[in-house]
Amino acid sequence: MRNLLCSVFTLISMLSIISCKAQKVNSTADKAVKLSNEWVFEGFFNDELKLVYDSSKSVEIIISPQENFFTGNTGCNAMRGTLTTEPGGKIKFGYPEALNKRCANIETEKRLLQLLECVTNYTIEGAILKLYCNEKAVMQFESYKN
């Protein structure tokens, strides 16, 4: 009887370890799926790391890590570029470019494209995507399509 109880306990312990490892793998896969989404720009972070909200909600980015590509809108112009991601929240936006239409407020576009080139990593918490340049939060997006 004692041997049977020990065997059952060992089996339950092994199953819970396997289950925990499977959950970790799934959470990494879920993060990649979440990154592949449409994101609406919320704002830039200032020097005090406070978010300065953009009320226009006209800037958006569509991230496609499986295709190594991103597209979007800077508020006036369409934008696009290459994209690479690595485990641990590493991301690199390559060659971000926008069409050159004449826009009333080009400053947001210039800053957005400049910061995208600097971005090195990201975090996703719920429906919020934060992009970081050298470990400093620089901009935030929200997804309405979880």
Same domain, 24 and 57: no
Count of the separate structural domains present in the chain? 2
Same domain, 80 and 114: yes
Same domain, 66 and 134: yes
Nearest to 134 by CA among 39, 45, 68, 41: 45
Sequence-ordered strand ranges (E) for the chain: 37-45, 51-53, 60-64, 69-73, 78-86, 90-98, 121-125, 128-133, 136-142
Query: Residue 108, Cα to own-chain centre: how many angstroms?
Result: 20
Same domain, 51 and 88: yes
Same domain, 74 and 133: yes
Could you read off the pLDDT of 40-67 as tens digits, one per residue?
999 999 988 899 988 777 899 999 999 9
Domain of residue 48 covers 36-142
Same domain, 45 and 81: yes
d(CA 6, CA 83): 52
Could you read off the pLDDT of 117-146 as tens digits, one per residue?
999 999 999 999 999 999 999 999 999 875
| Average pLDDT for the chain | 79
Nearest to 44 by CA among 100, 123, 116: 116
The full 3-state SS of 71-82, as one line of letters, equals EEECCCCEEEEE
> How many helices and strands in the chain, by DSSP H and E?
2, 9
